[in-house]
Amino acid sequence: MKSIVVSIAVAAGLMVAGSAMAGEPAIAKGCKACHNTASEAKLVGPGWVAVGKKYAGDKDGANKIAANIMAGGKFGWNFGQMPAKGGNGKLTEADAKELGAYIAGLK
């Protein structure tokens, strides 16, 4: 029963992420140590608005960003290395997809 409730909550979260009015995912909190989430300005890593612009016009951008968040590494910014899952071991595939969709929509 508990897992059903969790599944519904996750599905509702994905629906919110898919809408144009989506707010910043709550999970982004842990990312802010290294990222400006509302501007292009570099912190340790690139501002997420700059990432959204990098993938502008790329239909698969949200998925590519989600995959990069899960894997970590270097994505051509030359700012160093991002830890896998942003260093958050609890980050799930669904979290990464929500973040990817959110970041791809920033401009």
**CA 23 to centroid of chain Cα atoms:** 12
Instruction: Return d(Cα 73, Cα 93) in angstroms, integer.
Output: 17
Tokens for 84, please give them. 């896998």
Provide the mask over 4-43, with x wherever binding to ligand HEC is found by CB under 6 A and - wherever it is not: --------------------------xx-xxx--------
The one-letter amino acid at 52: G
Asked whether position 97 contacts ligand HEC by CB under 6 A, the answer is no
16 vs 88, beta carbon nearer ligand HEC: 88
Whether 56 and 66 have beta carbons less than 8 Å apart is answered as no
Joined tokens for residue 96: 């990464």
Residue 63 as a binder of ligand HEC (CB under 6 A): the answer is no
Binding site for ligand HEC (CB under 6 A): 30-31, 33-35, 44-46, 51, 54, 65, 68-69, 74-80, 82-83, 86-88, 91, 99, 103
